[in-house]
């Protein structure tokens, strides 16, 4: 399901795989770095909470705008807000791995998240899904937490 959509970006949530996928349109190439920040903040302002265990950020169409500072900002300010539920892996798809550097593990909300950069989407998906938790299609259609007998829908 599409969680967020604009002229520049879409955020898709693959519910059965608990995967949140950020990808950019051809128009994104006309933005500046501030526009990239603006799009992420717009998404966060939607206050969308889904139980994403894996996060896939496709930055191939933005490589001219992605700097190490942008990656660091995303990890410091955006990732903790979208990683509200036990994210254990995050992958970035780029055409050129030298654009940014990532540590193999990133501390997010007192947890360690495995992080990796890929240039091949198939390799990326295989790594993300390796050992990933999958939702049973017969389960309830909403993400929830039970607290003292009450159901809290995210």
Find which of 43-47, 78-82, 93-97, 147-151 is predicted with most confidence, using mean pLDDT: 93-97
pLDDT at 131 over 90: no
Q: How confident is residue 98, by pLDDT bands cut at 50, 70 and 90? A: confident
Instruction: Give the mean pLDDT of 51-61.
Output: 85
Please state, in angstroms and as integers, the Cα–Cα distance from residue 137 to each residue in 50, 53, 56, following that order: 16, 17, 22
Q: State the CB neighbour count (10 A cutoff) for residue 115.
A: 19
- Cβ atoms of 78 and 40 closer than 8 Å: yes
- Cβ atoms of 96 and 119 closer than 8 Å: yes
pLDDT at 124 over 90: yes
Distance CA(94)–CA(62), nearest Å, equals: 9
Task: Give the phi and the psi of residue 71 in degrees, each rounded to 5.
Answer: -60, -45
Instruction: Give the mean pLDDT of 106-123.
Output: 88
Tell me the pTM.
0.76
> Mapping DSSP to helix (H, G, I), strand (E, B) and coil, where does residue 93 land?
strand
- Cβ atoms of 9 and 121 closer than 8 Å: no
Please report the pLDDT score of residue 140 as a whole number. 55
pLDDT at 79 over 90: no
Please state, in angstroms and as integers, the Cα–Cα distance from residue 121 to each residue in 57, 69, 79, 118, following that order: 11, 24, 21, 7
Structural domain spans, the chain = 2-134+141-147
pLDDT at 152 over 50: no
Q: How confident is residue 47, by pLDDT bands cut at 50, 70 and 90? A: low
Distance CA(22)–CA(56), nearest Å, equals: 6
Please report the pLDDT score of residue 116 as a whole number. 92
Distance CA(151)–CA(154), nearest Å, equals: 10
């Amino acid at each position: 399901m599409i969680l967020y959509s604009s002229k520049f970006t879409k955020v898709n949530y693959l519910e059965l795989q608990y995967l949140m996928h950020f990808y950019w349109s051809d128009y994104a190439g006309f933005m500046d770095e501030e526009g990239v920040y603006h799009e992420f903040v717009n998404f966060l302002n939607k206050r969308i909470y889904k139980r994403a265990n894996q996060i896939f950020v496709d930055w191939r169409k933005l490589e001219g705008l992605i700097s190490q500072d942008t990656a660091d900002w995303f990890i410091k300010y955006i990732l903790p807000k979208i990683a509200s539920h036990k994210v254990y892996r995050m992958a970035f798809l780029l055409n050129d791995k030298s654009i940014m550097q990532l540590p193999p593990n990133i501390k997010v909300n007192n947890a360690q998240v495995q992080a990796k950069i890929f240039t091949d989407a198939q390799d990326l998906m295989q790594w993300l899904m390796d050992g990933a938790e999958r939702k049973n299609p017969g389960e309830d259609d909403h993400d929830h937490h039970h607290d003292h007998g009450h159901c809290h829908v995210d």
